[in-house]
């Protein structure tokens, strides 16, 4: 993952009040881990719309034929306290791009992974 | 040359007469003095000289973005089009949102400067820091919507993703003095006739291709701090809060009912100050109700989507879909600019509350590329002229079907009446023999705030450097919305100072170039942090406010050299002397008039101007060291002020 790629993720999400503190890729981009501060995140609340924005930025920054990668998100509040986690399986993105999953079905799967911090 | 953050140091200068394209950097001192977008654009227009014919080849047409355009800053998708106005004869700048400003930045440009006149119609194709002139003969005569489709087909990109279009329509080609430039289908650089300048140059469109390529801030930590502060304020605001604030839920048309309730809505060519008071004054007529065209009504009945501009959490655009009949034929329209000003000008001020046909009218204006505000005012003036028997072929109050037809006729200058109306409300009223029925300042028509009830708008319209305008200094922020604090809209005291403050603040945001709606939530502190963070400069709040004043003063200086002075800082007689038949029905504002002379005195004192003219000492104090000076001195009481000829 290039610095420019990380900057583009950070800058596009900042426009929506999502402040990326860390984004990295392991295993030659087969798994991304993004940590971000969310203005809307609260105890027990992880904004679903923001998760969608994060995923869509990754999709936008890849070619249309992207086979997908696992994306793991860690959500912080503005004080830096962890508020929850979520993730996307690479297969889901692949199925979405192939038309085997609808956007609604895809979103449903992602939302099921959300784990608010206790 | 500059290496300030937020700039590409890359401007194209296009000579349409020769077809040559040259590239130049941005003078760093100019960038520091005038920021970018509006400020820098006005400086380029100033350098071209104040005596140029607005519709002649020597006039400059500048498309400018600013150091914050296309960045992560909220609502930063804006672009300024700067030129000498064919409607007013003043310098003008007219902005639109959407994506074209951001995309021009991402394509590697701080601005595009067009001079000369092409022999045949052309469009400018912009990509990767290069500009190419291409044949546009197949687009000439086409409406904005068809041009949009043809360009998409020709270029192969996708609007909103990697393609943007700024085009004029038949009105621009026919040099209608209030023709505009439209971004894609609906967002317009509406005011001042920038589209007519485009048409006079045989320049049909500017087409930009680029994916999103945001620039890195020079000082990322400061930038992020300012961004967070701003975003938090926007989220918490009753006006801008996403999905909760009035602007976010109802769009700009949230103001329709508010203005009606406070008797601040000009109705029937500003003879009245609300639809209610008009109905009370003459109950025998068919009466109208502003509520039927309000943001609330639109949301409940015809709203289909809420699109956004680049980097905007507010989403004030309200996309509507209507099915209506026109001249016996079904007409289906889907459009996203059911704005307060447009709905008012083509609605209550023209005595119609036909919500769906107003959507059609706005769409027709967009397709023809004419300013909805000027069109509505010009039509309502023609309705009054018809009623008064000043013209034979006329148009009746509230005739929505005829208004739809007339918009296209004006754009094509089709017939004697349409040709007269294509000159704008003031020139047409003069031709009809009664200039007092034109609600204009410096030749540009008023927007939707009645200066008898909202006094700050009175001094704002009068002293606006581009003719009557609410966006030069948006005092309703304080007078209606209580931002930064509530002031009495009907009191005149202090409005000169308030107006100057907002004018300077908006000169800054217009030069960044970011949406004014940011100012409903954030303030100068957030502006400074984000500006310093992006550019790497270290300006203080006071220094940035002085920069805003410098920009406003440069515009006034240009106008002074073009022959404008304090006599041109006027209001229509209806607002300062009263309208005989309107007074009984003015409801809560009964008897109220705009105390213009008192407000002007206060305003000029705050500005340090002499009867509307910038004295040379003030130019020196603000570091405006270009041009010959006005020859006016503050010490001699303005003895050398330009005459009124």
Please name which of B31, B53, B330, B366 lies closest in space to residue B185, comparing C-alpha atoms.
Answer: B366
Residues B188 and B50 occupy one common structural domain: yes
Residues 6+ apart with CB under 8 A from A42: A77, A83
Residues B169 and B34 occupy one common structural domain: yes
C-beta separation of B249 from B243 below 8 A: yes
Beta strand B11-15 with B111-115 is parallel
Please state which of the ranges B57-61, B171-175, B232-236 shows the lowest mean pLDDT. Answer: B232-236
Asked if B216's CB is within 8 angstroms of A15's CB, the reply is: no
| Residue from B197, B15, B45 nearest B119 by CA | B15
Contact A7 B216 (CB under 8 A): yes
Residue written as tokens 């002649």?
B56
Count CB-CB contacts under 10 A for residue B523. Answer: 16
What is this model's ipTM? Answer: 0.88
Decide which of B272 and B346 is more confident. Answer: B346
Which one of A6, A7, A10, A14 makes the best mutation probe of the B interface by having the most chain B beta carbons within 10 Å? A14
B434 shares a domain with B528: no
A8 neighbourhood in chain B, CB within 8 Å: 212-214
Going by pLDDT thresholds of 50, 70 and 90, the confidence category of residue B587 is very low
Tell me: pLDDT of B643 over 60.
Answer: no
Q: Which residue has the higher pLDDT, B581 or B225?
A: B225
Chain B residues whose beta carbon lies within 8 Å of the beta carbon of residue A12: 72, 212, 214
Tell me if B97 sits within 8 A of B513, measured CB to CB. no
**Distances in Å between the alpha carbon of B218 and those of B178, B435, B536, B543?**
40, 53, 5, 19
In a domain, B216, yes or no: no
Instruction: Let me know whether B93 and B200 are in one domain.
Output: yes
Q: What is the pLDDT of residue A26?
A: 62
Tokens 């590239």, located at residue: B23
C-beta neighbour count of A115 within 10 angstroms: 12
Hunting for tokens 């048409």 — which residue is that?
B199
Q: What is the CATH number of the domain that holds B194?
A: 3.60.9.10
Tell whether A15 lies on the interface with B, counting CB pairs under 8 A.
Answer: yes
Asked if pLDDT for residue B442 goes beyond 60, the answer is: yes
Residues B504 and B537 in one domain: yes
- Tell me whether residues A19 and B74 touch, CB distance under 8 A: no
Q: Do B72 and A14 touch (CB under 8 A)?
A: yes
* Tens digit of each residue's pLDDT (9 = 90 or more) over B525-551: 999 999 999 999 999 999 999 999 999
- The per-residue pLDDT for range B291-336, each reduced to its tens digit, is 999 999 999 999 999 999 999 999 999 999 999 998 889 999 999 9
Q: What pLDDT is attached to residue B579? A: 66
Is A7 part of the contact surface with chain B (CB cutoff 8 Å)?
yes
| Residue B220: other Cβ atoms inside 10 A | 15
Per DSSP bridges, beta strands B440-441 and B329-335 are unpaired
The C-alpha atoms of residue B618 and residue B625 are separated, in whole angstroms, by 11
Residue in chain B nearest A15 by alpha carbon: B72
Q: Indicate whether B482 and B441 sit together in one domain.
A: no
Burial pattern B188-207, b for ≥16 Cβ within 10 A else e, equals bbbbbbbbbbbbbbbbbbbb
How far apart are the C-alpha atoms of B281 and B272, rounded to whole Å? Answer: 9
Give the HSE-up count for residue B91: Cα atoms under 13 Å, Cβ half-sphere.
Answer: 31
For residue B641, what is the DSSP state? P
Cβ of B74 and A12 within 8 Å?
no
Residue B601 sits in the same domain as residue B461: yes
Q: Is the CB of residue B77 less than 8 Å from the CB of residue B98? A: yes
- Indicate if the alpha-carbon torsion angle B352, B354, B359, B365 is positive or negative: negative
Q: pTM for the full model?
A: 0.95
Residue A42 predicted with pLDDT over 80: no
A17 and chain B: CB distance < 8 Å anywhere?
yes
Strand arrangement of the beta sheet that strand B319-326 belongs to: B303-305, B319-326, B329-335
Arithmetic mean of pLDDT, A49-76 = 89
pLDDT tens per residue across span B98-143: 999 999 999 999 999 999 999 999 999 999 999 999 999 999 999 9
Residue A64 pLDDT > 90, yes or no?
no
Residue B2 and residue B464: Cα distance in Å, rounded?
31
According to DSSP, residue B282 is labeled -
Residues of B in contact with A60 (CB under 8 A): 212
Do residue B272 and residue B416 come from a single domain?
Answer: yes
Q: Residue B639 — very low, low, confident or very high, per pLDDT cuts 50/70/90?
A: very low
- Over 80: is that where the pLDDT of B581 sits? no
Q: Are residues B168 and B105 in the same domain?
A: yes
CA distance B217 to chain A (A): 10
Tell me how many domains chain B contains: 3
Is the distance from CB of B451 to CB of B457 less than 8 angstroms? yes
Where does a domain end: B426, B445, B464? B445
Mean pLDDT of chain A: 88
| Smallest Cα distance from A54 to chain B, Å | 14
Tokens of B320: 């509507």
Answer whether B311 sits within 8 Å of A17, measured CB to CB. no
Cα B104 to Cα B111: distance, rounded to the nearest angstrom: 8
CA distances from B93 to A26, B111, B193, B380, B466 (A): 49, 14, 10, 25, 8
State both tokens at B390: 């000043």
pLDDT of residue B347: 98
**Chain B residues in contact with A39 (beta carbon < 8 A):** 228, 231-232, 235
Q: B610-625 pLDDT, tens per residue?
A: 999 999 999 999 999 9
Residue B590: band (very low, low, confident or very high) from pLDDT cuts 50, 70, 90: low
Min Cα–Cα distance to chain A from B27, Å: 27
Q: What domain range is B475 assigned to? A: 455-621
Question: Which residues of A fall within a CB distance of 8 Å from B224?
Answer: 14, 19
Together in a domain, B105 and B196: yes
Q: Computed over its alpha carbons, how large is the radius of gyration of chain A?
A: 14
Of B247, B132, B112, nearest in space to B181 by CA = B112
Q: How confident is the model over B184-218, as pLDDT tens digits?
A: 889 999 999 999 999 999 999 999 999 999 999 99
Q: Which two tokens stand for residue B566?
A: 């304090």
CATH, range A3-116: 3.30.300
CA distance B36 to chain A (A): 21
Partners of A11 on chain B (C-beta within 8 Å) are 71-72, 214, 216
Q: Which residue has the tokens 């105890």?
A: A43
Subunit contact B72:A15, Cβ cutoff 8 A: yes
- Look up residue A42 and give its DSSP letter: B
Whether B466 and B533 share a structural domain: yes
CATH code at position B424: 1.10.569.10
Chain B residues within 8 A of A16 when measuring between CB atoms:
313
Q: How far is A88 from chain B (nearest CA, A)?
A: 24
Q: Are residues B117 and B53 in the same domain?
A: yes
Contacts of B231 in chain A (CB under 8 A): 17, 39
Question: What are the two backbone dihedrals, phi and then psi, of residue B433, each rounded to the nearest 5 degrees?
Answer: 100, 5
- Cα(B93)–Cα(B194) distance, rounded to whole angstroms? 8
Q: In this structure, are strands B163-167 and B181-183 parallel, antiparallel, or unpaired?
A: antiparallel
Percentage of residues of chain B with pLDDT beyond 70: 96
Does residue B31 have a pLDDT over 60?
yes
In a domain, B218, yes or no: no
Average pLDDT, chain B: 95
């Amino acid at each position: 993952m290039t610095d420019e790629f990380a900057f583009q993720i950070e800058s596009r999400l900042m426009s929506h009040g999502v402040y990326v503190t860390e984004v990295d890729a392991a295993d030659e981009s087969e798994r991304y881990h993004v940590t971000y501060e969310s203005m809307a995140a609260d105890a027990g609340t992880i904004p679903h719309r923001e998760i969608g924005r994060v995923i869509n930025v990754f999709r936008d920054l890849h070619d249309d034929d992207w086979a997908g990668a696992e994306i793991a998100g860690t959500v912080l509040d503005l004080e830096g306290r962890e508020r929850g986690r979520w993730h996307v399986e690479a297969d889901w993105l692949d199925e979405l791009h192939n038309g085997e999953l609808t956007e609604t079905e895809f979103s449903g799967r992602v939302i099921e992974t959300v784990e608010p911090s206790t | 040359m500059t290496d300030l953050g937020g700039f590409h140091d890359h401007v194209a200068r296009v000579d349409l007469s020769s077809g040559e394209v040259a590239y130049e950097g941005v003078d760093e001192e100019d960038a520091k003095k005038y920021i970018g977008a509006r400020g820098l654009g006005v400086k380029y227009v100033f350098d071209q000289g104040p005596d140029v014919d607005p519709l002649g080849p020597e006039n400059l047409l500048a498309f400018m973005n600013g150091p914050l355009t296309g960045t992560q800053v909220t609502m930063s998708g804006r672009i300024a089009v700067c030129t000498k106005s064919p409607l007013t004869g003043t310098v003008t700048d007219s902005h639109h949102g959407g994506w074209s400003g951001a995309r021009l930045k991402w394509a590697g440009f701080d601005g595009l400067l067009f001079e000369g006149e092409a022999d045949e119609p052309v469009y400018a194709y912009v990509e990767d820091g290069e500009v190419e002139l291409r044949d546009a003969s197949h687009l000439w005569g086409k409406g904005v919507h068809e041009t949009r489709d043809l360009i998409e087909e020709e270029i192969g990109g996708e609007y909103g993703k990697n393609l943007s279009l700024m085009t004029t329509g038949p009105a621009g080609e026919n040099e209608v003095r209030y023709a505009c430039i439209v971004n894609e289908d609906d967002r317009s650089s509406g005011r001042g006739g920038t589209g007519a300048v485009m048409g006079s140059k045989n320049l049909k469109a500017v087409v930009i291709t680029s994916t999103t390529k945001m620039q890195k801030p020079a000082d990322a930590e400061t930038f992020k701090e300012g961004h967070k502060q701003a975003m938090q304020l926007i989220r918490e605001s009753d006006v801008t809060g996403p999905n909760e604030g009035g602007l976010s839920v109802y769009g700009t048309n949230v103001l329709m009912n508010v203005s009606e309730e406070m008797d601040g809505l000009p109705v029937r060519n500003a003879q009245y100050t609300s639809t209610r008071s008009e109905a009370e004054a003459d109950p025998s007529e068919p009466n109208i109700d502003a509520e039927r065209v309000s943001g609330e009504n639109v949301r409940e009945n015809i709203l289909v989507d809420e699109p956004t501009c680049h980097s905007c959490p507010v989403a004030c655009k309200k996309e509507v879909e209507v099915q209506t009949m026109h001249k016996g034929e079904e007409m289906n329209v889907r459009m996203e600019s059911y704005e307060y000003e447009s709905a008012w000008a083509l609605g209550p001020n023209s005595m119609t509350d036909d919500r769906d046909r107003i959507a059609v009218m706005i769409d027709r204006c967009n397709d023809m590329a004419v300013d909805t505000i000027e069109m509505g005012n010009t039509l309502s003036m023609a309705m009054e002229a018809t009623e008064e028997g000043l013209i034979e072929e006329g148009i009746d109050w509230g005739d929505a079907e005829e208004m739809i037809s007339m918009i296209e006729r004006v754009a094509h200058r089709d017939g004697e009446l349409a040709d007269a109306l294509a000159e704008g409300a003031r020139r047409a009223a003069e031709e009809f023999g009664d200039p007092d029925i034109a609600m204009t300042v410096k030749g540009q028509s008023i927007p939707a705030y009645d200066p008898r009830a909202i006094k700050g708008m009175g001094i704002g319209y009068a002293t606006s450097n581009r003719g009557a305008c609410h966006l030069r200094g948006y005092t309703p922020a304080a007078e209606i919305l209580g931002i930064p604090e509530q002031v009495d809209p009907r009191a005149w005291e202090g409005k000169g100072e308030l107006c100057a403050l907002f004018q300077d603040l908006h000169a800054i945001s217009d030069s960044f170039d970011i949406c004014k709606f940011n100012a409903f939530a954030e303030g100068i502190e957030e502006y400074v942090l984000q500006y310093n963070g992006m550019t790497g400069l270290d300006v203080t709040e006071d220094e940035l406010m002085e920069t805003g004043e410098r920009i406003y003063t440069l515009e006034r200086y240009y106008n002074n050299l073009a022959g404008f002075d304090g006599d041109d800082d006027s209001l229509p007689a209806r607002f300062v002397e009263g309208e005989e038949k309107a007074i009984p029905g003015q409801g809560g504002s009964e008897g109220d008039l705009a105390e213009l002379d008192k407000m002007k005195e206060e305003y000029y004192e705050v500005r340090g101007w002499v009867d509307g003219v910038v004295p040379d000492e003030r130019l020196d104090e603000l570091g405006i060291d270009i041009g010959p000076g006005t020859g006016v001195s503050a010490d001699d009481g303005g003895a050398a002020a330009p005459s009124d000829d």
